Copies of this chain bind each other. A is one copy, B any other.
């Protein structure tokens, strides 16, 4: 275990009807807010209307600012920054999933900053102050509701980059599992893959002796494995939706990073994929992660054995630990597939993907190699993406 600091100040308000507290909670921070959201889903479901009425009743004025798309764009962030400045707004209420929250976080650090907000994502500037953020979460996936990070896409060049600062912890996040009943199955499973990937990125570490955090991580993974298939069959199963929603927060609130160095190579590779092709982040992860595992498992077979046995209940093959390790990887891929996720590059429509792999590998490593468990240069990234084709039937 390595030294660490851990502090997560976000107030989680979890359960049925909790969105009705949004006005009261917001009013504690501001009387005029940017109401940031995506599009038709929150409009059709009536959630946006509910939130608006709730804010009004609490005496909170709001300026509507919708239009966030998956893989949220820096261009919209820049518009949001201008709007906040013009309207003299000092608090952003994000109603939506990770994309909306990440967009809100970018606006929050951008407003008080004299330069261009993309500087933060290029790591050429450090945020010194930020507007406050509140959240009503509609998709369990990104964990952004209780994280210090944000991922934004720059259309100019198809770059998808992340930035993190303690200033980005939301002041409060409202999590009502009922709001996820109406999610299309595809969003539910993409969210599940993202949540599991957040745990896996931290699980595969070279830092030894992290027993407690390993076990906590396994707990989150097993909860996702048992509950995700349930909600596909029963979208209005409150208990299963609640397990997934809380697991999504725990997976990414920093707890599972304590005392270790995570990998994050698969996330970064996926960012190249969805930066160019605009596919769902979770779908990209379901393709990249198994391929990454196949590429790196020999680096620490025992860790993959532990993962196979503890998370997937693989029967330990004492005579052949490598076989046990590979079974765990196979189970991972099979599980994603059973949910309906793509697990190979061939499963999704990615025009000219084979040709563009070197470009993605190069862009991904422009600043430095990816990953920590195993350092990945451009060649390694190409090899991983090639392992993700169906023909490489490992």
Interface of A toward B, CB cutoff 8 Å? 1-18, 208-209, 211-213, 215-216, 218-220, 222-223, 226-227, 239, 242-243, 246-247, 250, 255, 258-259
User: Is the CB–CB distance between B18 and A212 below 8 Å?
Assistant: no
Residue from A15, A208, A227 having most chain B Cβ neighbours under 10 A = A15
User: Is the CB–CB distance between B258 and A14 below 8 Å?
Assistant: yes
Bound form: Cα–Cα A258–B212 in Å:
19
Bound form: Cα–Cα A57–B74 in Å:
45
User: Is the CB–CB distance between A209 and B239 below 8 Å?
Assistant: yes
* Given the contacts A218-B219, A219-B218, A246 and B5 also touching, CB distance less than 8 Å: no
Bound form: Cα–Cα A315–B171 in Å:
46
Residue of B nearest to A16 (CB): B3
User: Is the CB–CB distance between B227 and A219 below 8 Å?
Assistant: no
User: Is the CB–CB distance between A212 and B246 below 8 Å?
Assistant: yes
Residue of B nearest to A4 (CB): B14
User: Is the CB–CB distance between B12 and A6 below 8 Å?
Assistant: yes
List B contacts of A18 (CB < 8 A): 3
A268 shortest CB reach to chain B, Å: 27
Bound form: Cα–Cα A219–B10 in Å:
24
List B contacts of A239 (CB < 8 A): 1, 208-209
* Given the contacts A211-B226, A212-B243, A6 and B11 also touching, CB distance less than 8 Å: yes
Residue of B nearest to A223 (CB): B212
